[in-house]
């Protein structure tokens, strides 16, 4: 019985294949005899082949994008330092600035470190330097004022081009360390000309010959006081608006002669 069933299935499959083959032959004969149908079939087949050829050509002309080149020296150009490498006062100030101005502690730590070094060289409190940065740019190294003052300390680059020459040119205004060093030069000159810190801040902001600096001096001195307290190990809220400030450095015993009015170039240099 099983043999009969198997023979019947085999014969049925043979007959089915024969029927399929016969259907294919009849279809081909019909297409060959029908000119319009044959033309349409050939057109469709040719179009499909051309489309596939175009896709392959596009793939050949559009290779995979090249990998972005790595730069192992990039970390050496980064303006950043871990706060663990700073002294305790420096680390405290860097962390406080980071929280207050929502900036990363590593680049701020490098700026704090530089402010300490420069401050010792030129005789300025580093927290005063950092307070000027805070009020001028909020630690944004790419800041620019409507008047064209640029960088962390908002120096008028086009006026102080010669000060940037030792750093490679005026584009160094956007290098945080270079801008800080040039800005401290300008700030020191203003303080020396005015004979005191507060008067020097008015010169720095371009209000030397006016009675109103828009509150700039008070803002800088208040921030200076907060940072000085942080450096001294005191807890100062990062959202504090009114905090007792430290006394400013005493003025020279002999008051210098009143400075002559600044010329036009100097006024432009200090305007914001």
State the pLDDT at residue 248. Answer: 39
pLDDT at 161 over 60: yes
pLDDT tens per residue, range 51-90: 777 766 665 665 666 788 888 888 888 899 999 999 999 9
- Predicted TM-score of the model (pTM): 0.67
pLDDT tens per residue, range 223-261: 999 999 999 999 999 985 533 333 334 433 333 443 444
State the pLDDT at residue 65. Answer: 67
Whether the CB-CB separation of 185 and 120 falls below 8 Å is answered with no
State the pLDDT at residue 244. Answer: 36
Match domain 87-270 to its CATH number in 3.10.450, 2.30.30, 1.10.530, 1.10.1660: 1.10.530
State the pLDDT at residue 50. Answer: 73
Q: How many angstroms from the chain centroid is the CA of residue 110?
A: 16
3-class secondary structure per residue, the chain: CHHHHHHHHHHHHHHHHHHHHHHHHHHHHHHHHCHHHHHHHHHHHHHHHHHHHHHHHHHHHCCCCCCCCCCCCHHHHCCCCCHHHCCHHHHHHHHHHHHHHCCCHHHHHHHHHHHHHHHHHHCCCHHHHHHHHHHHHCCCCCCECCCCEECCCCEECCCCHHHHHHHCCHHHHHCHHHHHHHHHHHHHHHHHHHCCHHHHHHHHCCCCCCCCCCCHHHHHHHHHHHHHHHHCCCCCCCCCCCCCCCCCCCCCCCCCCCCCCCCHHHHHHHCC
pLDDT classification of 212: cutoffs 50, 70, 90: confident
Query: Could you tell me the residue ranges of all domains in the chain?
Result: 8-41, 87-270
**What is the mean pLDDT of the segment spanning 213-220?**
94
State the pLDDT at residue 143. Answer: 96
What's the mean pLDDT when you consider all of the chain?
A: 82
pLDDT tens per residue, range 98-133: 999 999 999 999 999 999 999 999 999 999 999 999
């Amino acid at each position: 019985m099983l043999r009969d069933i198997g023979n019947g299935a085999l014969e049925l499959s043979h007959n089915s294949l024969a029927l399929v083959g016969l259907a294919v032959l009849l279809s081909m004969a019909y297409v060959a005899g029908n000119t319009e149908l044959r033309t349409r079939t050939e057109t469709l087949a040719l179009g499909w082949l051309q489309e596939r050829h175009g896709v392959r050509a596009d793939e050949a002309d559009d290779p995979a994008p090249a990998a972005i080149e790595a730069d192992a020296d990039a970390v050496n150009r980064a303006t950043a330092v871990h706060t663990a490498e700073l002294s305790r006062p420096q680390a405290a100030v860097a962390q406080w600035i980071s929280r207050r101005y929502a900036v990363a502690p590593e680049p701020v730590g490098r700026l704090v470190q530089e402010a300490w070094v420069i401050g010792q060289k030129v005789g300025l409190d580093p927290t005063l330097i950092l307070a000027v940065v805070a009020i001028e740019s909020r630690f944004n190294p790419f800041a620019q004022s409507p008047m064209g003052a640029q960088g962390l300390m908002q120096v008028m680059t086009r006026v102080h081009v010669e000060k940037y020459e030792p750093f490679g040119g005026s584009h160094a205004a956007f290098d945080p360390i270079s801008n800080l060093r040039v800005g401290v030069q300008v700030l020191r000159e203003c303080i020396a000309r005015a004979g005191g810190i507060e008067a020097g801040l008015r010169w720095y902001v371009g209000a030397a010959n006016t009675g109103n600096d828009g509150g700039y001096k008070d803002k800088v001195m208040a921030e200076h006081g907060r940072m000085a307290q942080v450096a001294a190990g005191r807890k100062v809220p990062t959202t504090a608006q009114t905090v007792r400030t430290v006394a400013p450095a005493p003025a020279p015993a002999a008051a210098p002669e009143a400075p002559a009015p600044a010329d036009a170039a100097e006024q432009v240099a200090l305007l914001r």
